[in-house]
Chain A
Amino acid sequence: MLRLEPRPAAPAWLELATPVMAVIATMIAGGVLFALMGFDPVAAVRTIFWDPLFGPAASYSRPQLLVKAGPLILIACGLAVGFRAGIWNIGAEGQYIVGGLCGAAVALAAYPAEGAWIFPAMVLAGAAGGWAWGMIPAMLRNWFGASEILVSLMLVYVAQRLAAWMAFGPMRNPEGFGMPGSRNLQQYPSAANPELVAGTGAHWGVVAAALAVVATWFLMSRHIRGFHIRAAGLAPRAARFAGVSPAALVAFCLGLSGALAGMAGLFEVAGPGGQIIDSFGSGYGFTAIIVAFLGRLHPLGILLAGLLLALTYIGGELAQLTLQLPAATVQVFQGMLLFFLLAFDTLTRFRIRSARAMA
């Protein structure tokens, strides 16, 4: 019988090695799965993990990694701060949607006016929308003790229906022949969030994601608030004695992660997405939870994890294209990747000992 024994501190090499081990294990397990399905496992794994970076069309797909990873990283940075404090916002998807709706609302209200103020106002509205949507579970937890996990999750469904209602109702494009969906903001210069430097894929959302990585790193490792957050996550009671107000922390973490998710939604609707459609929330908020864990709740880890997940999305498309691998492969891959990472993570937190030796 094996048993787990907690380690005081994981060795640094192990912290770095486990994500790599998880990726390798996913490749092996994925390869076995592909072989069972009658595909060439080596070609499949190479197409998903190698070709987007170095394949024939890599000059296009590399920048696309940024487009796909940008919102994931931006959202995950905010979530990780809360997760560190033991505050579980799993409703980032809803905050992303509401942020997108609020930002788009500013643009649609301003249409067809042009002005340099419009885009900054949209960013503010997006962040405010996400913040407000995140503050609902925060306040309900602070006032009534309601679980923020469950309230934030419920609010995802509400936001999804809100988006559908907007796409068919108030935000429907009056020139769209009665079809659902708002005006396309890409075609509205003052509101558009275009690629900033040609061929890089980087739009303002990618810039914001990069800033978020730096800012959350600073917050968590150099700022007293970050210390409070880590303290609250590790030893809630001790943190309270040290003068950390749990209510303020809940409001801060949910507000921050909500605002970042809302901004991600806004950058997406004004940029790559272009318009509010009924299926506007396409799962970034949930995938960002995976990114946060994959990145071990560390800003730099999140950066890498976001890029890795983006790689599986784009590689999955390439694998469909070249190998006729079904689209669902990506989901299986992401699921397995997370399973393996979480499992290997145990190695960093615990030592595995034989129970008999202990006795």
Chain B
Amino acid sequence: MNRRTLLASAAALALPALLPGARARAQTPATPVPAGETLKVGFIYVGPVGDGGWSYQHDLGRKAIEAEYGDRVETTFIESVPEGADAERALTQLALAGNTLIFATSFGFMDAVINTARKFPNVKFEHATGYKRADNVATYDARFYEGRAVIGTIAGRMTKSNKIGYIGSFPIPEVIQGINSSFIHARKVNPGVEMKVVWAYSWFDPAKEADAAAALIAEGVDVILQHTDSTAPLAKAQEAGVIGFGQASDMANFKPTPRVSSIIDNWAPYYIRRVGQILDGTWTSHGVWLGIGDGEVEIGEITEAVPAEVKAEAEALKAQIASKAYHPFTGPLKKQDGSDWLAEGAVATDEELSSMNFFVEGIAAQIPS
């Protein structure tokens, strides 16, 4: 055993005792918070709350907690936390400040959450979109691909050029699921439809997103789907007279067109439920992946720019997905290379989806490696 690992393990053992916050709340997992005592809930965001997209929606969830529980809870947040070392410090600061439930709202916070959770066994952590869990670390994610199926249906019906564009952020499973889901459902209602994909390599870069939208429009695309957070693609769509969809938030400013509908991350129901479970002492760790049926993925108002029958069709699909009568990845489906993926009637497992790294048959674009 070398010296460094020896020191490291000594540090791991000794640290909790040194931290004042670690003993501040000696609370066993299944004890309700007594009436009259305030529960402190902390959040860390990867972007500024004013990003109008991802972090903004999480902050709406935080505000919903305050609205729901009033004096019983007190919430705080730290915004624009870089992934890596700073995240661990921000989480620790929140724990030391007496927050007993902490939401970490970006995938990149994963290892920081696990490390911090080890130091604070009495603090509960909720990590968005990650896959590492512990007794006091739960994970939660949204089935964005369910919403993409509905939007894909509208896109397939609305396109006249039969070309749909998709602005992807990064080639990661969550985005690839969305591209596949929207393509499958656009093709279902319009067999002639093609999908063009552009990777912006950013979650938020308005100028780049605008250029990406323009590049798609130049390719003859007349419906744009986006998995990046700014409104720039909608602005471009408006200029060019094509349509698009709100992403993460409703982007209602662009109603009724170019924004004909939207896919909204609604974290409020989950946040309210989990805070409630802490309050009544029933919180346990889990990994959940919630969708339309749970109210976590919402479809924003479908505007009058969409014909009534298309709107009805989209809403019917949404209802079927919500009731779990239909799964957006139901066979027969083939992979892009023509190999079989799902047999007739078979449904993709969550494991397959969460590491999805291929396009389905019919998409001409490539996933960068």
The answer to A–B direct touch (Cβ < 8 A) is: yes
Contact of A168 among B42, B89, B115, B368 (CB under 8 A): B368
A56-B20, A198-B11, A327-B48 known; A119 and B4 CB under 8 Å?
A: yes
Cβ-closest chain A residue relative to B2 = A116
Give Cα A61 to B19, complex, Å: 10
Contact A282 B8 (CB under 8 A): no
A119-B4, A279-B83 known; A195 and B173 CB under 8 Å?
A: no
Residues of chain B within 8 A (CB-CB) of A199 are 11, 14-15, 18
Count of interface residues, chain A, beta-carbon cutoff 8 Å: 52
Residues of chain A within 8 A (CB-CB) of B2 are 116, 189-190
Interface residue? A317 (CB, 8 A)? yes
Segment at the B interface, from A25-33, A132-140, A215-223, A267-275:
A267-275
Contact A67 B93 (CB under 8 A): no
Interface residue? A242 (CB, 8 A)? no
Residues of chain A within 8 A (CB-CB) of B78 are 317, 320-321, 327
Interface of A is mostly: loop
Contact A60 B19 (CB under 8 A): yes
Q: How far is the CB of A123 from chain B (nearest CB, A)?
A: 12
Give Cα A336 to B230, complex, Å: 30
Q: How far is the CB of A304 from chain B (nearest CB, A)?
A: 21
Contact of A321 among B8, B88, B93, B176 (CB under 8 A): B93
Contact B19 A169 (CB under 8 A): no
Contact with A along B7-31 (1 / 0, CB 8 A): 1101101110011110000000000
Interface residue? A144 (CB, 8 A)? no
Contact A177 B173 (CB under 8 A): yes
Interface residue? A334 (CB, 8 A)? no
Residues of chain B within 8 A (CB-CB) of A328 are 48, 80
Residues of chain A within 8 A (CB-CB) of B19 are 59-60
Interface residue? B82 (CB, 8 A)? yes
A192-B8, A194-B7 known; A282 and B84 CB under 8 Å?
A: yes
Segment at the B interface, from A89-97, A102-110, A178-186, A257-265:
A178-186
Contact with A along B68-97 (1 / 0, CB 8 A): 000000001111101111101110111011
Residues of chain B within 8 A (CB-CB) of A317 are 78, 89-90, 93
Residues of chain B within 8 A (CB-CB) of A164 are 201
Of residues 182 through 222 on chain A, the ones whose CB sits less than 8 Å from some CB of chain B are 184, 186-187, 189-190, 192-199
Q: How far is the CB of B315 from chain A (nearest CB, A)?
A: 32
A57-B20, A57-B21, A59-B18 known; A198 and B89 CB under 8 Å?
A: no
Contact B85 A194 (CB under 8 A): no
Residues of chain A within 8 A (CB-CB) of B79 are 320, 326-327
Contact B355 A275 (CB under 8 A): no
Residues of chain B within 8 A (CB-CB) of A192 are 4-5, 8
Contact B80 A272 (CB under 8 A): no
Interface residue? A64 (CB, 8 A)? yes
Cβ-closest chain B residue relative to A52 = B93
Residues of chain A within 8 A (CB-CB) of B13 are 198
Residues of chain B within 8 A (CB-CB) of A156 are none
Residues of chain B within 8 A (CB-CB) of A119 are 4
A180-B172, A321-B76, A327-B78 known; A314 and B11 CB under 8 Å?
A: no
Cβ-closest chain A residue relative to B46 = A279
Interface residue? A159 (CB, 8 A)? no
Give Cα A328 to B170, complex, Å: 26
Contact A179 B18 (CB under 8 A): no
Contact with A along B337-369 (1 / 0, CB 8 A): 000000000000000001111000000000011
Contact A268 B85 (CB under 8 A): yes
Interface residue? A232 (CB, 8 A)? no
Interface residue? B131 (CB, 8 A)? yes
Contact A196 B93 (CB under 8 A): no
A277-B84, A321-B94 known; A181 and B14 CB under 8 Å?
A: no
Cβ-closest chain B residue relative to A179 = B172
Give Cα A277 to B90, complex, Å: 18
Residues of chain A within 8 A (CB-CB) of B86 are 282
Residues of chain B within 8 A (CB-CB) of A64 are 89
Interface residue? A354 (CB, 8 A)? no
Interface residue? B276 (CB, 8 A)? no
Contact with A along B104-141 (1 / 0, CB 8 A): 00011001000100000000000000010000000000
Interface residue? A322 (CB, 8 A)? yes
Residues of chain A within 8 A (CB-CB) of B357 are 178
Contact A272 B88 (CB under 8 A): yes
Give Cα A184 to B87, complex, Å: 15
Residues of chain B within 8 A (CB-CB) of A245 are none
Give Cα A181 to B87, complex, Å: 15
Interface residue? A346 (CB, 8 A)? no
Q: How far is the CB of A318 from chain B (nearest CB, A)?
A: 7
Contact A322 B97 (CB under 8 A): yes
Contact A60 B11 (CB under 8 A): no
Contact with B along A229-272 (1 / 0, CB 8 A): 00000000000000000000000000000000000000010011
Residues of chain A within 8 A (CB-CB) of B11 are 194-195, 197-199
Interface residue? B295 (CB, 8 A)? no
Interface residue? B171 (CB, 8 A)? yes
Minimum-distance CB pairs A-B, first 4: A272-B85, A194-B8, A198-B11, A198-B14
15 residue pairs of the A-B complex, CB under 8 angstroms, read: A56-B96, A59-B19, A168-B170, A189-B2, A189-B5, A194-B7, A197-B7, A198-B11, A275-B84, A277-B84, A278-B201, A282-B82, A320-B78, A321-B76, A328-B80
Interface, chain A (partner B; CB < 8 A): 56-57, 59-61, 64, 67-68, 116, 119, 164, 168-169, 177-181, 184, 186-187, 189-190, 192-199, 268, 271-275, 277-280, 282, 314, 317-318, 320-322, 324, 326-328
New contact pairs (15) apart from A189-B8, A282-B82, CB-CB < 8 Å = A56-B96, A57-B20, A164-B201, A177-B173, A178-B357, A179-B107, A180-B170, A193-B4, A196-B4, A198-B13, A273-B84, A274-B84, A275-B84, A282-B86, A320-B76
